[in-house]
Amino acid sequence: MRYLKMKKAPGAGTAGNRQFGYASTPDDAIPAIANRIPRGRSHLRHPAFLLAAVCALLTAGPVRADDARTHEFKLDNGLKLIVQEDHRAPVAVVQIWYKVGAAYEQDGATGVSHALEHMMFKRTEHLATGEFSRTIAERGGRENAFTSLDYTAYFQQWSKDDVELSFRLEAERMQHLLLDEQEFTTEMKVIAEERRLRTDDDPQALAAEVAQTVAWQTSPYRQPVIGWAADIASMRLPDLRAWYERWYTPSNATLVVVGDVEPAAIKRLADQYFGSIARRDIAPPRARPEVGQHGEKRLIVRNEKVQLPHLMMAYKTPTMTQIGQPGPDGKLVEAWEIYALDVLAAVLDGGSSARFTRELVRGQEIASQVGTYFQSMSRLPDMFSIDATPREGHDLAALEAAIRAQLEAIKAAPPTVEELARVKTQVVADTVYQQDSMFYQAMIIGTLESVGLSWRLRDEYAAAIRQITPEQVQAVARRYLDRDRSTVAWLLPEEAR
């Protein structure tokens, strides 16, 4: 899954984006196996493949996915409630997911989902400004929120006895948010500064944003979650009010609870606090499909702050939600192909024994870092991306050629049986670090539901991964790592002209 980094201050959510291999992650949801990239952003290697890891261990250890621990309910007003029992500690995680994010926005109004997320921590009819976060802090809880292209989510982590308070607070701001002009003006300055620090003053982030808009011509995935600077400056309070009234409704939300709880009791609490909220039917966002690409796109971004050049490559690929539909080449997408793309990402970049590290970092010593990123759990078609930094004494042209040679090698000959065995063994081993996180369990459920998939997919994922053959990995490399549907970005220092 793609996870989004959040501010440390309570209630100050931040925006994340798909950025040619970069993914931000909430600090308390980062699995121990997560890799780090420069400049403080967290990078989760092929995180959808890590979903398979979760599933594999959930079927074999103290945390099981197939023993009826997970319960689904639907309130009359359309709110979906999913409760997962985990009785190892007297704590609980409560997350509420709204199916709206930056990819729902229109040109000229980008960033409104993220701005509304910030304002959700202000005042309501029955809570003064700051009272929401203060109430949680006084009881020793943790809370925050995050916005992505596909969804906006809010959460609390605390004692199981406080689940009822979570419901009371979330139901309050679902229906009674008050938007104050002065608070809005102040918060928009905070958001503008956030964009400056995290994007405009960060050469790699800024280059990734530019590359994103070049790669996607018409897809709403071309938009930055935080919004364009001009849209942030021109945003007005009525824009947020209209967005809130349109999307923040029970029928557009999924409430996830994981912890030491009793499902029937949680259902009664949900009925008590959310059941009386009026249902509003949601019209789906206007479709904006990506147009066909008929040749490689290339760009060079120069920045005076760049100290090391950087390479970004991305190939358009389908995701789990496009199975049975035409792919980027017009042919129908088969389910096994999505799993094979996840395995391909792991073969290339799945630890110290993976091809990129073995051949390019240690072997040829041409790269100081090479990473892959594939998001199979997206609402719309996404990308298989590669990012790399050359070692001193090597340039981007040589590094790009070396990466392409690795891609051509896997197209010419499938990975070995030993390589796939390593990948599949790693699935289970890696999950040891993830099974203890109630937050991560809830993230899997919420993400799947919010992009239009069922949480039950997690229970099928590991078995599907285990069925992937070397020839299938080779086949998806040939089909989807096509230069005519790729984008390549070079980030160079100013003096390199």
Q: Is 494 a catalytic residue?
A: no
The tokens for 344 are: 């391909």
Distance CA 381, CA 451 (A): 11
Pick from 440, 405, 489: which is nearest to 53 by CA? 440
78 sits in the region (left: phi over 0; alpha: psi -120 to 50; else beta) called left
8 Å CB contact between 226 and 235: no
What is the residue type of 46? H
Q: How far apart are CA 156 and CA 142, in angstroms?
A: 6
Q: How far apart are CA 178 and CA 125, in angstroms?
A: 6
The Cβ of residue 129 has, within 10 Å, a number of other Cβ atoms equal to 14
CA–CA dist 148, 100 (Å, integer)? 8
Cα gap 497→478, rounded to integer Å: 35
Amino acid at 453: L
CA distance 163 to 165: 5
Extract the runs of DSSP E, i.e. beta strands, from 416-481: none
Burial class (CB in 10 A: 0-12, 13-18, 19+), 167: buried
The one catalytic residue among 72, 85, 105, 117: 117
Cα angle at 440 between 61 and 123, to 5 degrees? 150
98: left (phi over 0), alpha (psi -120 to 50) or beta: beta
- Backbone angles phi and psi of 310, in degrees to 5: -145, 145
Nearest-angstrom CA–CA distance, 35 and 44: 6
Residue of 357, 353, 391, 392 whose CA lies nearest to 371 = 357
Element holding 115 (H helix, E strand):
helix 112-119
Residues noted as catalytic: 117
